[in-house]
Structure 1
Amino acid sequence: MKFMRNRIISNTIWLLSERIISIAGLFLVTSAVAKYIGPANFGKVNTAILYFSVLQAFVFWGSDTIGVKLISKFPMNGVNFLRSFALFKVISFFLTSVLVILYFYFEYDRLTFIFSLAVGISTFFVIIDYFNTFNEATLRSHINVIANVIGLSISFGIRYLIVEMKLSPEYLSIPIVAQGLIPFVIRFCVFKKNNKSHSFFYKPKFKLIKYGISSGFGLVISTVSVMVYLNVGRVLLSKFDSMFALGIYSVAIALGTSWSFVNSAIIASLTPMLYGSKKETSYEIASFLSMILILVGGSYFILFLVLGRYVITHLYGEVYSQVYSISLILIPVTILSSLGVVAARYIISQGGYKFEAKKSLITAIFTIFISWLLIMKYGIYGAAWGALLCEMLSLTVINYFYNKAEIFKIHLNIFNIPKNITVLKSALKTQSLK
């Protein structure tokens, strides 16, 4: 079909197909696991994932964003950068992960420690998997999707067997590792097959590593700060409330963000064009993207409002009943977060690395303070309302200080539908495959 030959549309559809399978796993398998091991143990799994997510963001040092931008303009330089910077990521990961593992060993129980080891191993394969970034930048997301779907399917299958056979929760460490290992192996094999000129034993270019460290400094501050203010609620809940509360909140986050795969697919498909366009075009693409994300998020909110309570009761059980009301707060949080991603990528496309770093750091500090106050007073609901307040602040007030309120102008232009439709047609025409 001519429609499917368009690179943006086909890339988006591939990304959507992966997330649909992931969502199916969330409802059919993850819900069964959460129900089987209970909120407290489910909270332990998510604690390990949380800490290594922040670590992963730090170790990447913004290299994925830099890689996509470089490949969009200078393909060979971009690939060489990703391969060279892998050395920096590996060294950084080992130095920091040891500290995290020791922290879990001394501060948490045996089960949480085992989960932390499994998540650490899985994260390592994500860290060295620069093939994922390469495929995203070159609009070959079908490779990522196939690899991820196989990894997810095997991981979900193992999880299901553990629940059905009523095995010890410790065995959940096996699918956690598999979910990172399997996609990496598949992407590596495909990359080597399609790029035979690239030697396996690549000598890193320290000039490119130095470039990545200097260029990514602002990005890593921004990314880690974002990770902090997105997850500070979970950290504070585990410390000042209970693992039970964290388990409830983690399920609410999963359901409140489950629809965002649509937004992620659309953003990922248009980001290379955003980076490669002139300022005027980038401005219009950002407005168009924001409009689409609001429409998608609003539709999911209405759907969850009607069906959410039924889904939670039948899949998770009455013990997770609080998830419904918390999710209704977190869905708008996800909408704002997606709009924030668009704003951030627009700012980066204009070279605003320092602004992003400062903005994210300020937001993170504000979030820690506000979330602590609200969680101490309102518990789980305080965590949700804190996240909403901070996402709103990050998207609007702070962003509007960038370059004479450019983000504010983008937001004003969101519902200029005729103009946005023109942008869409132009984008599709530009990226059409012959």
Structure 2
Amino acid sequence: MNWYKKCKNNIVTNETSSRIIKNSGWLVSDKVLTMAIGVFVTAVVARYFGPEQYGQFNYALAFVSLFTAISTLGLETLTVKSIVDKKVNEGVILCTSLLLRVVGGIVLTIMAVIIINIIEPGNTNLQMLVLIMSFTMIVKSFEVIEYWIQASQKSKISSLIRMSVYVVMSVLKVILVVKGGNLAHYALIYTLDAVIVSIALIIAYFQFREEKSAWKYSFSYTKDILSQSWYLILSGLMITIYMRIDQVMLGSMMSSKLEVGIYSAAVRIAEMWYFIPIAIITSFRPVIMKNRNINEEKYLKSLQLLYTIIAWTGIGFGIVTLILSKTLVSVLYGVDYLEAASILSISVWAGTFALLGSVRSIWLISEGLQKYTLIFMGGGAIVNIILNYLFIPYMGGKGAAVATLIAQAMVAFFIPLLFKETRNASFMILKAFKLKL
């Protein structure tokens, strides 16, 4: 247990650890509640609609997600960095980011509706689902307040908001099942969630902000941030493609949406544990970025520590999920979804690679190497599309799971090895699995 003692000592003696743990504690509390309620409610909804209709909803959601990735304009990490650096007034940063996201959301909502009408001309139910859910791209523009929360490490604010709203929305979903609602009603609840969260975040910001700078749009800041973010816009699309294209291709290549429903149930369970590493990554991000400007040794040490925590968290949850896959599926979703167990045994390992890639993205931004993000994600998207095309006709959902796992491993570890500037990221991942802190 020597590695455990070293890990504990590393955290305890770190002067910034208490703040990270406190901040991530709120994030974890938020996600524990949403996971506990969400797993139950999702299972109830999935059982109610059945694999076919549940698959149709998830097909629409995956389709909209392809556009949502672009609507964020790659602003999250860059905006957090801008607020931390304090080279531009906070009000200018947030106001400009908000307007950019609103414009992007409107354009992409229109595009999503037009394209779904072209590729699914006779499916009016699917077209309606896409229309309703696409509207969230505009509404979620107001979530730029999350960037301020991350930079200020005030996760208690957003956690309380999201926990409260999530409970209310979960109750509405159960009422939908009891009252015999349809998929359109379910999609409306999805959009209403975004509306309420956005309003609450805006109110919270103006009540709790410390810097009272006026909100102003800046054309010069727009040019500066977009000149840096276009790599992230395209890479965001690429990462969404290789994360979501499996469901889109399953729905398009199979004769019905039933396979998408089975696959989505497996993915939902595989993602249950993500709340812990995501909370940790979110809390570490501003600390690592600050250390980059202060102390190189502390910067690399905190980065390596984050890699190690994420790697072994993934291994732990992966083993547990592998052992309990059939039990989890049967208890949560019932016998109609039992085929999801074999898919789950594959899908759960893809998450570890995806989260390690999220850690690497912090390093890329800090080092000014974000252009490589596009190369990595583009390579992963191409690999995933090709493998899905080859595997899905013969293996169905299992083929999609294998394709995604291989693509995630390529993006997180193998593709960065091809470039001298990014090779160190892969070496840090290897070191993380050795448990030498």
Q: Give the TM-score of the pair, scaled to structure 2.
A: 0.90
- Whether the aligned pair in 2 keeps the contact of 1:4 and 1:10 (CA below 8 Å) is no
Residue 197 (1) aligns with residue 212 (2): yes
Corresponding position: 1:414 with 2:429: no
Once the 2 structures are TM-superposed, how far is the Cα of residue 415 of structure 1 from its aligned partner? 4.9
In 2, are the aligned partners of 1:259 and 1:300 still within 8 Å (CA)?
yes
Alpha-carbon offset, residue 5 of structure 1: 9.9
AA aligned to 2:126 is T
Are 1:44 and 2:56 an aligned pair?
A: yes
- Deviation of 1:387 (Å): 0.6
Q: Is the 8 A contact 2:273 2:317 kept in 1?
A: yes
Mark the CA change 1:402 to 1:349 in structure 2 (over 3 Å): closer, same or farther: farther
Pairs within 5 Å for 1:135-150: 135-150=149-164
Determine the C-alpha separation between the residues in 1 that align with 2:69 and 2:17. Answer: 34
CA contact (8 A) 1:150 1:182 kept: no
Same amino acid, percent of matched pairs: 22
Per the alignment, residue 206 of structure 1 pairs with 219
1:251 offset after TM fit, Å?
1.1
- The answer for the alignment partner of 1:6 in structure 2 is 18
- Give the drift of 1:386: 0.4
1:246 aligns with 2:264: no
The aligned residue for residue 109 of structure 2 is 97
| Native 8 Å contact 2:346 2:401 kept in 1 | yes
- Measured at CA, do residues 253 and 119 of structure 1 come closer, stay the same or move farther in structure 2, by a change above 3 Å? same
2:387 to 362, 366, 370: 370
Q: CA offsets, 1:270-290, max 9 Å, x none?
A: 011111223443332222112
Q: Aligned to 1:112, which of 126, 129, 142?
A: 126
Would the aligned equivalents of 2:109 and 2:131 in 1 still touch at CA under 8 Å? no
Work out the CA distance in 1 between the residues paired with 2:136 and 2:108: 15
Give 2:321's aligned residue: 304
Tell me the residue number matched to 1:82: 94
Q: Does 1:275 align with 2:289?
A: yes
| SS of residue matched to 2:143 | coil
| Separation in 2, partners of 1:79, 1:203 | 6
Map residues 160-175 of structure 1 onto 2, 5 A cutoff. 160-175=174-189
**What do the CA deviations read for 1:70-96 (whole angstroms, capped 9, x no partner)?**
112217535422311222221122122
Residue in structure 1 matched with residue 168 of structure 2 by the alignment: 154
Structure 1 residue 266 corresponds to structure 2 residue 280 = yes
Preserved contact between residue 67 and residue 78 of structure 1 (Cα < 8 Å): no
- Structure 1, residues 283-342: CA drift from partner, whole Å, max 9, x if none? 322221121112212221232233332232122111100111111111110011111111
Change (3 A) 1:366 1:314: closer
Q: For residues 51-74 of structure 1, what are the alpha-carbon distances to aligned partners after superposition, in whole Å with 9 as ceiling and x for unaligned?
A: 222222212221111111111221
Matches for 1:45-60 after TM superposition, within 5 Å:
45-60=57-72
Residues 168-208 of structure 1, C-alpha deviations (whole Å, 9 max, x = no match): 33321331122101111111111111248355xx4311111
CA distance in 2, matches of 1:110, 1:24: 34
Displacement of 1:117 in angstroms is: 2.4
Q: TM-score, normalised by structure 1?
A: 0.90
Structure-2 residue corresponding to 1:428? none
Q: Does the Cα contact within 8 Å between 2:71 and 2:137 map onto a contact in 1?
A: no
Stretches of structure 1 lacking an aligned partner (at least 5 in a row):
421-434
Match of 1:340 among 342, 357, 373: 357
Between 1:358-367 and 1:382-391, the stretch displaced more is 358-367
Q: What secondary structure is seen at the aligned counterpart in 2 of 1:6?
A: helix
* Secondary structure in structure 1 of the residue aligned to 2:36: helix
Structure 2 counterpart of 1:20, one-letter code: V
Deviations 1:331-368 (A, max 9, x none): 11001111111122212211101112222222222221
Structure 1 residue 383 displacement after superposition: 0.3
Q: For 2:66 and 2:89, how far apart are their aligned partners in 1? A: 28
TM-superposed deviation, 1:232:
1.4
Contact 1:192 1:198 in 2 (8 A): no
Q: CA RMSD in A?
A: 2.2
Maintained 8 Å contact 1:122/1:179: no
Alignment partners' CA distance in 2, 1:198 and 1:42: 46
User: Does 1:316 pair with 2:306?
Assistant: no
Deviation by residue 1:90-142 (Cα, 9 ceiling, x = unmatched): 11221221121123345262322222222122332212321111101110111
**1:394 partner letter:** V
Could you list the runs of 5+ residues in structure 2 that have no partner in the other structure?
1-11
Q: Distance in 1 between matches of 2:326 and 2:95?
A: 47
Instruction: State whether residues 105 and 138 of structure 2, in contact with CA within 8 Å, keep that contact through their aligned partners in structure 1.
Output: yes
1:29 deviates by: 0.7
